[in-house]
């Protein structure tokens, strides 16, 4: 039996209640009053279904009269509203307000059964998600107790019934399924068999009820009866739809045959094993409001999209920019919208040996309830089984720190009920999504908010100018700011300005941005170490080092080609590859590039440690030669010679191939 929730206590002084989950009724002071007029009943239902929102007159006319309203429809509608106001009584007549371009009914919390059903249903699903089976059963049972019959049972409006009744009926069935899942978890198998037998008879095409009845029989020690339920389900589906049972029902059948059901679990459908694998949320998460709105919109996308289109969003950015923190923060906000669980995997994209899809797939399948004998040995088979197990579930998947698209693609579900958030330092252009969030540094106000969360508002307010300078020296990088905050929190005798003074020297700034295992240099080193090798002179790693010689200045494509001793096309491929990995960024002017502040410091370190002085002098000589040639070309355009045009001197050999031609034109004066 399910312990009952306490009955709803209505707000004092407002003893009025509306019901839509059955016949439309109004209760005042404990007395229930029927709405006698069919058209007025439709108007009241339309207003209540949009409680506390304005419903335009045109919409209400459509609800009452459909496509052929009489000429007097608006006046008649006004009369119906007057009748409803009178019905609500003197104290409550002000509930229905005239508000252009229509009417609005005022409903307080706890007064409308549909709202109360939604509240209890959400609470029950949250409890399911948290594994609190008793609370889930109580809340969902209380939600279902509000139903007095078919929704809008006595409403005559065809448009209103067509729009709302099917979705309300489906919500009720889902609440029934969730409540039964909780009771199965509580071991109430015998109690559920009669109810589930009736549900299977009433909804023979609802595979979930067949599965729950099978589980109830197994839990009650009757596996043969469970197999009989499957046989009848297969017959019904073949006769009515010409199809076989779905993958969830088939998997459950195989588990029963193999006697491979874990005790007191529900290994099928939305009531199945519910993984909750998200890491803990950052307590001082700051900013990113637009990005959070995009990510939390995945829940709506997962319901409104084509069934085969999986909502997927890529969060990319440099190391330390807060990709994981954002993904985890948004995922926690989405948990209630994905009641069948949350899967999380750290893919180790920058590790020497990233997590192979085969291994991640095996872990996901086990977490979803597959037994060892059910899990295929090959990647393709595991990916197919994962898609099958997720086909009837609403699961959120977070894939953190992906190296490339081939690592991600096998881990994606195949249906829109699930959603996926991927984080990576790389652009992953092959991912099938238009939802791409490229994270940049925090602005000054967001950086101050983050520091206030770590150090306290009073501490930051006392040294606002120093705190602003600290945010600037940390380049708005969340990792750097958290390290700075951790160092200050651990040294209460320090003032913010003391750390600012330590960070002011670029040569030692990265040395200061270390706190325990957190290190900005270490984060940047991972991205640098993952750069692919290439031919001598065009390796991305060497380009990264040589560009670090510029001391934070931006550079044109032509000048970069001279520095790297290659042609413009090759140089562009190298630079754009660094941009894709968020180790370089495009400057405001076209075809110009620059390092983010702290990345540039690390690149300069790598140049000093790994490039020999002779190579540095040669590379800088090539760059200077290209600049001199550009200056000469620009000078000829700005101050043409009096005699015959001589043309600029031939550029140095290092300013090679296409670079020499590009530098010769007047437009190249923008390439300094």
Cβ atoms 223, 255 nearer than 8 A: no
Task: Say whether both 558 and 516 belong to one domain.
Answer: no
CA distance 474 to 1: 59
Cβ atoms 407, 351 nearer than 8 A: no
Give the rounded percent of residues in the chain with a pLDDT score beyond 70.
87
Q: In the predicted model, is pLDDT for residue 37 greater than 80?
A: yes
Task: Say whether both 37 and 178 belong to one domain.
Answer: yes
Task: Say whether both 420 and 473 belong to one domain.
Answer: no
Task: Say whether both 25 and 157 belong to one domain.
Answer: yes
Tokens of 479: 């990792």
Task: Say whether both 8 and 150 belong to one domain.
Answer: yes
Q: What is the CA radius of gyration of the chain?
A: 33
Residue whose pair of structure tokens reads 């086909």 in the numeric block: 391
Q: For residue 280, is it within any domain?
A: no
Q: Tell me the whole-structure pTM to 2 decimals.
A: 0.55
- Per-residue pLDDT of 450-468, as tens digits, reads 888 888 888 888 899 999 9
Range scoring the smallest mean pLDDT among 218-222, 310-314, 441-445: 218-222
How much is the average pLDDT of 213-240?
A: 89
Task: Say whether both 265 and 363 belong to one domain.
Answer: no
Q: For residue 241, is it within any domain?
A: yes
Please tell me which residue, 352 or 327, carries the higher pLDDT value: 327
Task: Say whether both 317 and 454 belong to one domain.
Answer: no
Q: For residue 284, is it within any domain?
A: no
* CATH number of the domain within which 239 lies: 1.25.40.10
Q: In the predicted model, is pLDDT for residue 397 greater than 90?
A: yes
Task: Say whether both 363 and 454 belong to one domain.
Answer: no
**What is the pLDDT at residue 286?**
77
Strand 514-515 and strand 518-519: pairing? antiparallel
- Per-residue pLDDT of 289-311, as tens digits, reads 889 889 988 877 666 555 567 88
Cβ atoms 201, 213 nearer than 8 A: no
**What is the pLDDT at residue 156?**
87
Q: In the predicted model, is pLDDT for residue 666 greater than 60?
A: no
* CATH number of the domain within which 614 lies: 1.10.10
- For the residues of 334-353, what is the DSSP string, one character each? HGGG-TT-EEEEE--TTSSS
Point out the domain boundary residue: 479, 498, 522.
Answer: 522
Task: Say whether both 250 and 354 belong to one domain.
Answer: no
Cβ atoms 357, 379 nearer than 8 A: yes
CA distance 672 to 669: 6
Cβ atoms 217, 193 nearer than 8 A: yes
Straight-line distance from the first to the last Cα atom of the chain, in angstroms, rounded to the nearest whole number? 80
Point out the domain boundary residue: 522, 545, 570.
Answer: 522
- Per-residue pLDDT of 137-187, as tens digits, reads 999 999 999 999 889 888 888 888 888 888 898 899 999 999 999 998 888
Sign of the alpha-carbon dihedral angle for 612, 616, 618, 619: positive
Q: For residue 153, is it within any domain?
A: yes
- Mean pLDDT, the chain, integer: 82
Q: For residue 338, is it within any domain?
A: yes
Q: Which residues contact 188 (CB under 8 A, 6 or more apart)?
A: 1
Task: Say whether both 508 and 539 belong to one domain.
Answer: no
CA distance 445 to 453: 12
**Listed residue (414, 420, 137, 119) closest to 271, CA to CA:** 137
- For the residues of 440-491, what is the DSSP string, one character each? ----HHHHHHHHHHHH-HHHHHHTHHHHHHHHHHTTT-HHHHHHHHHHHHH-
How much is the average pLDDT of 371-394?
A: 86
Angle at 88 between CA 84 and CA 94, to 5 degrees: 90
| Count of the separate structural domains present in the chain | 5
Task: Say whether both 455 and 566 belong to one domain.
Answer: no
* CATH number of the domain within which 156 lies: 1.10.10.10
Chain centre distance of CA 613: 48
Range scoring the smallest mean pLDDT among 128-142, 451-465, 487-501, 532-546: 532-546
**Listed residue (420, 249, 451, 412) closest to 331, CA to CA:** 420
- Per-residue pLDDT of 101-130, as tens digits, reads 888 888 888 889 999 999 999 999 888 877
Task: Say whether both 165 and 32 belong to one domain.
Answer: yes
* CATH number of the domain within which 349 lies: 3.40.50.300
Point out the domain boundary residue: 522, 557, 586.
Answer: 522
**What is the pLDDT at residue 10?**
38
Instruction: For 437, list phi and psi in degrees, rounded to 5.
Output: -115, 115
Q: Which domain does 591 fall in, by range? A: 531-671
Strands (E), 68-175: 96-99, 102-105
Q: Which of 268-282, 629-643, 655-669 holds the top average pLDDT? A: 629-643
Q: Is the peptide bond before 101 cis (omega within 30 degrees of 0)?
A: yes
Q: Which stretches of 314-423 are DSSP H helices?
A: 323-334, 357-367, 379-390, 405-408
């Amino acid at each position: 039996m399910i312990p009952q929730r306490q009955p709803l206590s209505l707000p004092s002084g407002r003893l009025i209640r509306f019901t839509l989950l059955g016949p439309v009724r109004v209760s005042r002071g404990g007395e229930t009053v029927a709405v006698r007029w069919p058209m007025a009943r439709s108007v009241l239902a339309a207003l209540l279904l949009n409680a506390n929102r304005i419903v335009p007159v045109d919409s209400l006319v459509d609800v009452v009269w459909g496509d052929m309203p009489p000429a007097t429809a608006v006046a008649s509608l006004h009369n119906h509203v007057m009748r409803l106001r009178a019905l609500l009584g003197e104290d409550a007549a002000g509930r229905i307000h005239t508000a252009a371009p229509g009417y609005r009914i005022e409903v307080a919390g706890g007064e409308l059964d549909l709202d109360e059903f939604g509240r209890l249903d959400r609470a029950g699903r949250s409890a399911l998600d948290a594994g609190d089976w008793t609370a889930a059963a109580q809340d969902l049972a209380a939600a279902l107790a509000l139903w007095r019959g078919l929704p809008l049972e006595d409403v005559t409006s065809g448009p209103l019934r067509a729009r709302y009744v099917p979705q309300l009926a489906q919500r009720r069935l889902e609440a029934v399924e969730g409540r039964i899942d909780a009771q199965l978890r509580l071991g109430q198998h015998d109690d559920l068999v009669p109810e589930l037998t009736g549900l299977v008879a009433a909804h023979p095409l609802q595979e979930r009820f067949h599965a729950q009845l099978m589980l109830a029989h197994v839990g009650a020690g009757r596996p043969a009866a469970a197999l009989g339920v499957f046989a009848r389900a297969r017959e019904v589906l073949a006769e009515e739809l010409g199809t076989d049972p779905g993958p969830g029902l088939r998997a459950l059948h195989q588990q029963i045959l193999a006697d491979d059901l874990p005790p007191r679990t529900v290994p099928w459908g939305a009531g199945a094993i519910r993984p909750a694998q998200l890491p803990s949320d950052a307590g001082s998460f700051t900013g990113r409001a637009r990005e959070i709105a995009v990510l939390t919109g995945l829940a709506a996308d997962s319901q409104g999209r084509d069934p085969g289109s999986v909502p997927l969003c890529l969060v990319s950015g440099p190391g330390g920019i807060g990709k994981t923190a954002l993904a985890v923060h948004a995922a926690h906000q989405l948990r209630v919208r994905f009641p069948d669980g949350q899967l999380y995997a750290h893919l180790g994209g920058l590790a020497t040996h990233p997590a192979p899809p085969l291994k991640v797939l095996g872990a996901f399948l086990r977490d979803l309830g597959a037994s060892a004998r059910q899990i295929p040995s090959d990647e393709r088979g595991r990916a197919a089984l994962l898609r099958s197990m997720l086909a009837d579930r609403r699961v959120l998947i977070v894939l953190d720190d992906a190296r490339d698209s081939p690592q991600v693609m096998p881990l994606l579900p195949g249906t829109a009920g699930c959603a996926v958030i991927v984080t990576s330092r790389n652009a992953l252009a092959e991912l099938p999504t238009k939802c791409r969030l490229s994270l940049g540094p925090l602005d000054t106000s967001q950086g101050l908010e983050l520091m206030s969360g770590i150090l306290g508002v009073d501490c930051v307010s006392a040294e606002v100018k120093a705190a602003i300078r600290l945010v600037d020296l940390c380049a708005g990088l969340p990792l750097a700011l958290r390290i700075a905050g951790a160092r200050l929190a651990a040294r209460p005798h320090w003032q913010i300005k003391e750390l600012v003074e330590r960070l002011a020297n670029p040569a030692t700034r990265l040395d200061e941005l270390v706190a325990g295992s957190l290190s900005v240099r270490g984060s940047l080193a991972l991205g640098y170490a993952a750069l692919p090798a290439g031919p001598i002179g065009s390796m991305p790693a060497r380009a990264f080092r040589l560009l670090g010689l510029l001391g934070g200045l931006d550079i044109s494509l032509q000048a970069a080609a001279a520095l790297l001793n290659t042609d413009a096309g090759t140089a562009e491929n190298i630079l754009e590859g660094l941009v894709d990995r968020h180790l370089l960024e495009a400057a405001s002017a076209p075809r110009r590039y620059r390092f983010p502040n702290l990345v540039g410091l690390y690149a300069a370190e790598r140049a000093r440690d790994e490039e020999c002085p002779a190579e540095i002098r040669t590379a800088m000589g090539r760059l200077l030669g290209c600049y001199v040639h550009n200056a000469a070309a620009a000078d000829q355009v700005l101050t043409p010679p009096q005699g015959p045009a001589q043309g600029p001197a031939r550029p140095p050999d290092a300013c090679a191939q296409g670079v020499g031609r590009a530098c010769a034109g007047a437009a190249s004066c923008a390439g300094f």
